[in-house]
Amino acid sequence: MIKENEIKPLYSQEQIQTEIRSLASKLNNIYGEQEVYLICVLKGSVMFMTDLAKHLTMPVKMEFIRLSSYGSGTTSSGKVNAVDIALPDLNNKNVLIIEDIIDTGHTAKFLMDFLRHNFQFNDLKFCALLDKKVKRAVDVNADYYCFEVDDKYLVGYGLDIDGYYRNLPYIGYIEV
C-alpha cells in the first residue's frame, strides 16, 4: 500500500468545490424547475454527487448503480462488470449520470448503451468530475465535467487505489 506522503496534490478541496459550484450553476440554468434523476456510479462518484446535489435547485431524485472496470489494478481492464444496476422506470425522465472520471470510456459507453437500450429519455447526459481524454479508447464524451486531466493515476475525493484514499478531501496522483 502506498503512503499518503507519496501522493502529489493536483486539485485542492477549494478548487474542487469551486468547480462543482460552477457546474451546478450551469445545470440549474439548463434544467430550471424540471425534475432530474442523478445516477451515481459507485463507489468513486458518491462524494462528487453529494456535493453537486447540495447546489442544485431543481427537484432531484438520486439513484445508485455499481460498475467496475479496474478490479485491484491501476489500469482499466477494458471489461465492465455490472455489479448492481437496479433502477426505477426512467422513461420520459431527465437523467444525469454522475461519474468520478472518464478515462478509456468503456464504463461510460457501457452505461449509456445499457440505459438507451432500456429506456426512452426526455434528456440523458453524462457528467464527470474528471475527464481524461488522453486515455480515451472508445468514442464517448462527457457532456459536462469539472477538470480535464493528464494521464496520471489519481486518488482522493472518491478515487482510490485498491479501495484506499477515497476519503481524501483533495485529488492527488501517484507514480505507478
Catalytic residues: 103
Using CA atoms, how far apart are residues 109 and 14, in angstroms rounded to an integer? 31
Helix or strand (DSSP H, E) at 11: strand 8-11
Is residue 174 within 8 Å of residue 155, measured between CB atoms? Answer: yes
Helix or strand (DSSP H, E) at 86: none
Q: Which of 126, 130, 123 is nearest to 140 (CA)?
A: 126
Interior/surface letters 37-56, b for 16+ CB within 10 angstroms, e for the rest: bbbbbbbbbbbbbebbbeeb
C-alpha cell at 149: 486531466
